[in-house]
Structure 1
Amino acid sequence: MTLARFARLATVGALVLLTAGTNAQSIDEARTAFEEGRFLEAADLAEAFGTSVGYALAAQSLAVHGHYIAAGDDRKGFFERAMKLGEEAVRADSTNQEAYYQSAHAVGRYSLTVGRFTALRRGLAGKVRGLLESALAIDPEFAEAHMAFGSWHAGIARAGRVARFLYKGNRESAVIHYERALELAPDSMIVLLEYALNLPDLDSEGGRERAGELLSKAAGLPARDAFEALIHEDVLEALAEHESGG
């Protein structure tokens, strides 16, 4: 091998290593931005990574920002962008369970902005179900996906007879998924909160008492990042309402 050719190959190798290092640094920077509550910055950094992992993190970041931080009129736009990135995440890697979960998360958040009946008419409930089923088919022990499916069933059960008939959502399945999520992640703040918020509707006898227990447990957990700090605020608010008899 000539010295000139060796130099060219060495340069190419250095560029490949540099690119890989930059990509790794970018996704780590995106995760750090998310953990610190810089959700829009996290979304931009993660999207630029150009992979399923990056698109999924970007979708999550936008959905969280839209739900917790954005002004009311702006929320829908963030959720629409999150949905597109969720779709990109699935297209980029159809074996990435997080891609399906974050896509479902984005569609679910968007559904809340258009109203229950519009969401049902547009088939968004069915889309969420399909995405969550795909996530759980890849990873049956995905606690957050079980939690989200529990919330999906609880929401459909509340939506009325037509919704229950069309989408086969029911209270029994909600409990099954919530209990599985708790079994897999007993110290997950968001799992405890989601189950507690829906328990009174799912169990008319002991649901309210157990909901209080779950909220008390969640309130005692430390927030590990900015997202969990936002969830913790929801926990404290729900616990205060519960203790006041609400």
Structure 2
Amino acid sequence: MTEWNAYASPGEKPFDIERLQTLWGRLHKGDAEPWPTDPALQQAWMLFHSGAFQRAAEAGLALDDAGLNVANKATAIHANYVERREATRENLLLETAARAEKQQQRQPSNPGAWFWQAYALGRYSQGISVAKALTQGLGVRIKTALETTIQLCPHHADAHLALATFHAEVIDKVGHLIGGMTYGANKVTGLGLYETAMALNPDSAVTLTEYANGLVMLEGEKRLPEATALLDRAAAMEPLDAMERLYVASARVALEG
């Protein structure tokens, strides 16, 4: 594995097993990942939450299927929020999606296998342009994977959030008519999915920032005050781990823009 751009934050507090177990429910309310009983898997998750994304990915991959969710999450989050080289970012996201798709064949009932494929393809699509991604058939794959995630795990807040964003971005880029007829995108469905995500995980910087962006895409400037209030809440949060710190930072940047 080639060397990734390092993520470093002076405010990051390393995780130990006690802190990981104490905060697990809060940190994984979004992805509904079960508590790992394997000490090696716990170590991989400690690396992830501490911001050592490449080491977390390598530790997860060394555990085969048992470690793929942490490996894929670490790779996808690094690619989307830390990696500065566009070609490397795209490659990491496509690698994540491919690993997750193969995992689905071996573990079809694992929600993470479906979610991380969708997440990686979604972020890849944003990079190359959503409209271009739709013409490549990625929209159908993303939507199917997220709907499967929710079917397998109805309390997977991040899957509701990502599926809501799918509806919002399709409508924003190709319009209500084409988006609905061709890709099954629907404003009412998207708003409902955002509301479900908020009900499942309301105190999350991830939920707040994605919901804020989605409100503006789906309903325009009339929802801008509400979206700004959501971003204000996210920006004011004290992050518990590296991923939350990245989302909080993105909310602050959005408010400054």
TM-score range, shorter chain: 0.7 to 0.9
Amino acid at match of 1:179: E
Once the two structures are superposed, the pairs formed by residues 227-238 of structure 1 within 5 Å of their partners are 227-238=243-254
Please tell me whether the aligned partners of residues 90 and 96 of structure 1 are also in contact (alpha carbons under 8 angstroms): yes
Say whether 1:60 aligns with 2:76: no
Task: Give the Cα–Cα distance (whole angstroms) in 2 for the partners of residues 235 and 144 of structure 1.
Answer: 17
Shift in Å, 1:111 = 1.8
TM-score between the two structures when normalised by the length of structure 2: 0.80
Say whether 1:30 aligns with 2:44: yes
Please tell me whether the aligned partners of residues 151 and 198 of structure 1 are also in contact (alpha carbons under 8 angstroms): yes
Shift in Å, 1:80 = 1.6
Say whether 1:202 aligns with 2:215: no
Which protein is bigger by CA-based radius of gyration?
A: 1
The two structures, once aligned, show a CA RMSD in angstroms of 1.7
Alignment partner for residue 73 of structure 1, among 84, 87, 94?
87
Once the two structures are superposed, the pairs formed by residues 182-193 of structure 1 within 5 Å of their partners are 182-193=198-209
Task: Give the Cα–Cα distance (whole angstroms) in 1 for the partners of residues 249 and 241 of structure 2.
Answer: 13
Counterpart of 1:9 in structure 2 is none
Say whether 1:136 aligns with 2:168: no
Kindly report structure 1 stretches of 4+ aligned residues shifted beyond 4 Å: none
SS, match of residue 95 in structure 1: coil
Shift in Å, 1:74 = 1.3
1 or 2, which has the higher helix percentage? 1
Shift in Å, 1:131 = 0.4
SS, match of residue 203 in structure 1: helix
Counterpart of 1:109 in structure 2 is 123
Amino acid at match of 2:201: A
Say whether 1:240 aligns with 2:256: yes
Counterpart of 1:175 in structure 2 is 191
**Structure 1 portions without partners, runs of 5+:** 1-22, 242-246
Aligned length: 218
Q: Percent identity?
A: 28
Residues 184-226 of structure 1: CA deviation (Å, up to 9, x unaligned): 1110110100011121232346411111111111122221111
